[in-house]
Structure 1
Amino acid sequence: MSSTFTHNRIRTPSRLHFTLVDMNGHLGRIDGGLGVALEQPGIVFDFRSHGHANVRSGDARLRKFVMRELIASSELLDVDPALQVVIRETIPPHHGLGSGTQWRLSLLAALNHCFELNLSQSKLTEISTRGGTSGIGIGAFQWGGLLLDGGHSVDRDKDFFAPSRFARDVRQPPLLLRYEFPVHWGVVLFRPRDLGGLSGQRELEFMVANTPIPLNEVQAVSHVILMQLLPAILEFDLPAFGSSVSALQETGWKRRHWERPELAPLQAIRRGFNEVAGIVGCGLSSTGSTIFGFFDADEISDDVVKAQLLTALRKHAAISGQVWSTRANNT
């Protein structure tokens, strides 16, 4: 299991979401997610049985969000939310890193433990109401690694385009494959300080307005994934992998996001990533606003690649934000 559970402490990964594969449905399936689990950032919290629901954190907004998630999770399990949660680390919300799914699954796991429900992780995932669009977040929590899911059957599961929040009665998509991500491939990221991704009603409206996508673009995305990205992982071909990630930005679902007017400031970030010789590939995670690329950690250190990226971003007068590096979570 990619998330870890020791001595009443839960740790989760975050995830990068590369793209949705099929937002057309010509072959009778829609959605289909591709992404990878990350070591950092992650959620870390301690928990114990308590007389009433109690969330401790220095961030009032985070406390309120986790309290809502705790109550919602307890209702799914039909138990009292009598848990104290002490937050140590969290995933920044609405930046394309999958915080909502990780909180839901981790709180379900904590309640399952405290109330001795003895439900399997697969059962907790099934009742979580997550995975109505992409299965990458639930896959990152359970297994880690590089993940590709098969989307949803239009006839049996889901006959409309909508984010997971608006597709809660839809079953999780099948996991088509999980590959170990090469341990010497580093991930370098930029998260804007004052620019977030889509969520809620805005995300739904964007999805409705931009679907279905032309079939030829879905075919182009599938071609890149099948004949470039996946072989690159198995052959440890980082340049080809980076090229495939960049190619996915130019067509299909991801291209629609790059065309959003509010993301125009991210073009300078993109140019900065592309200018650094040690970074290969550049992508937008989910609906934004985190930008990511990859580097060979055997050839260039984390400190050097971050310094080079910061220099390039200053050159392009990029908006302010956080630069960090991490590794894929494979465990």
Structure 2
Amino acid sequence: MTVRAEAGARLHFGFANLSLAHERLYGSLGVTLDRPRVVVEADPAPSVRCAHPDARRYAEAAVDVLGVAGASVTVREELPRHVGLGSGTQLALATLAAVARAHGRDPAVRERAPELGRGGRSGVGVAGFERGGFVLDAGHPTALFTPDPPETGSWQVPAVAAHHHVPDDWRFVVALPDVAPGRDGEEEDASMRAVVADADPDVADEISGRITRQVLPAVAGGDREAFGAAVAAVGRLNGSWYADEQGGVYRPPVGDVVETLRESPAVSGAGQSSWGPAVYGVTDADHAADAAAAAERALDEAGTGGEVLVSRPRNRGATVETVAGRTLGRARGGDGVLVNVPPGRKLPVEGERRKV
């Protein structure tokens, strides 16, 4: 029995608090996107078989925690790696879900994510996999923070503090500058611990005020312009914590892309997702084409080149289904696969990744 798991990317707008002076640490906020996406298929097998190195590692961990013999795992679609779209968590959880269901088991992703090394700091990726939409997680008690990284599986995924349906007519334009990938793994952990050691608690106080008085009312009330401005402000404040680690409020040259994109009247807020280099802009269906054009101009003016896509919000969790008697091929342009189109040609339709 072949099982297929499919999950969308996520945007990470930042954290509520990185200061050890407050009682709760982290507390991340973000949105799940419909595209790009990861698609993983799994069949029961006597051992682990997988050509994709990262998926193989997650499949081996999944087989171990599930107590099953093995699985044959194939990655049909994948997110761009380490660009700020949550590729690691979504691949890990999609692999876990596909392997578990192929063996007739409950994946229990929230409970098992730590054993795959995911959900230790931010809970947005796990919650997005579970239910999509806008997520604010509750963070961790600051008393649990340790100067050294915890052992894999020793933490709990942060609880969901707030979850909201994102209006269906909202769109997110994403620019992926053609620069070095963002930080991950041990490098990311070391950078985060350096930031936490020196984070200004006054910045956390301002962020918390913006989340409670601006971000949450805007997404609950469907005010796209207020939401875009608020999450962009949260991102800039987070950037003041990261400035020494990443070379500025935004990592160079991402800041140039953000500043150009935010000037577009089609975009109500722009920022860097996670460690970047992904840049997002908040727009709606009526202005999506203009927002995509603005993102292309921003990449061009920054001199980086790259890719641009427009995505709907994803207000549902990952789908896990049995694939009966057929082989699923790779989706085409409208389903999120890279489409190479010279500049000056048509703008990307929703879900396409357009090369600039």
**Do they superpose with TM above 0.5?**
yes
Q: Indicate whether 1:9 and 2:4 are aligned.
A: yes
State which drifts further: 208-217 or 36-45: 208-217
Post-superposition offset of 1:244: 0.8
Aligned residue identity for 1:306: A
Q: What SS class does the counterpart of residue 193 from structure 2 fall into?
A: helix
Post-superposition offset of 1:119: 5.3
Residue of structure 1 equivalent to 2:322 = none
Q: Indicate whether 1:173 and 2:158 are aligned.
A: yes
Give the 3 Å change call, closer, same or farther, for CA 242–258 of structure 1 in structure 2: farther
* Preserved CA contact (<8 Å) 2:299 2:306: no
* 1:19-30 → structure 2 map (5 Å cutoff): 19-30=14-25
Post-superposition offset of 1:49: 1.8
* 1:137-152 → structure 2 map (5 Å cutoff): 137-152=125-140
Match of 2:212 among 226, 229, 237: 226
In 2, Cα distance between equivalents of 1:308 and 1:32:
31
Post-superposition offset of 1:99: 1.2
Q: Indicate whether 1:187 and 2:172 are aligned.
A: yes
Q: Indicate whether 1:275 and 2:267 are aligned.
A: no
Cα deviations across residues 58-100 of structure 1 (Å, max 9, x unaligned)?
A: xxxxx112112211222222333x2222222101111111111
The alignment-based identity, stated in percent, is 28
Give the 3 Å change call, closer, same or farther, for CA 67–318 of structure 1 in structure 2: same
In 2, Cα distance between equivalents of 1:161 and 1:189:
34
Aligned residues between the structures: 312
In 1, Cα distance between equivalents of 2:196 and 2:280:
25
Match of 1:248 among 234, 252, 270: 234
* Preserved CA contact (<8 Å) 1:33 1:148: yes
Residue of structure 2 equivalent to 1:319 = 304
Post-superposition offset of 1:108: 1.6
Stretches of structure 2 that go unaligned for 5 or more consecutive residues are 317-356
In 1, Cα distance between equivalents of 2:151 and 2:303:
34
Residue of structure 2 equivalent to 1:286 = 274
Aligned residue identity for 2:176: R
Cα deviations across residues 202-245 of structure 1 (Å, max 9, x unaligned)?
A: 21221222224111100011111110111111222222111112
Cα deviations across residues 47-66 of structure 1 (Å, max 9, x unaligned)?
A: 2123432225xxxxxx1121
Residue of structure 2 equivalent to 1:3 = none
* Preserved CA contact (<8 Å) 1:269 1:318: no
Aligned residue identity for 1:175: V
Post-superposition offset of 1:29: 1.5
Q: Indicate whether 1:87 and 2:89 are aligned.
A: no
Q: TM-score, normalising length from structure 1?
A: 0.87
Q: What SS class does the counterpart of residue 250 from structure 1 fall into?
A: helix
Q: TM-score, normalising length from structure 2?
A: 0.81
Give the 3 Å change call, closer, same or farther, for CA 219–293 of structure 1 in structure 2: same
State which drifts further: 116-125 or 194-203: 116-125
Q: What SS class does the counterpart of residue 37 from structure 1 fall into?
A: strand
Aligned residue identity for 1:66: A
| C-alpha RMSD of the superposition | 2.3
In 2, Cα distance between equivalents of 1:122 and 1:197:
25
Stretches of structure 1 that go unaligned for 5 or more consecutive residues are 1-5, 57-62
In 1, Cα distance between equivalents of 2:216 and 2:148:
27
Residue of structure 1 equivalent to 2:340 = none
* Preserved CA contact (<8 Å) 1:162 1:207: no
Q: Indicate whether 1:214 and 2:209 are aligned.
A: no
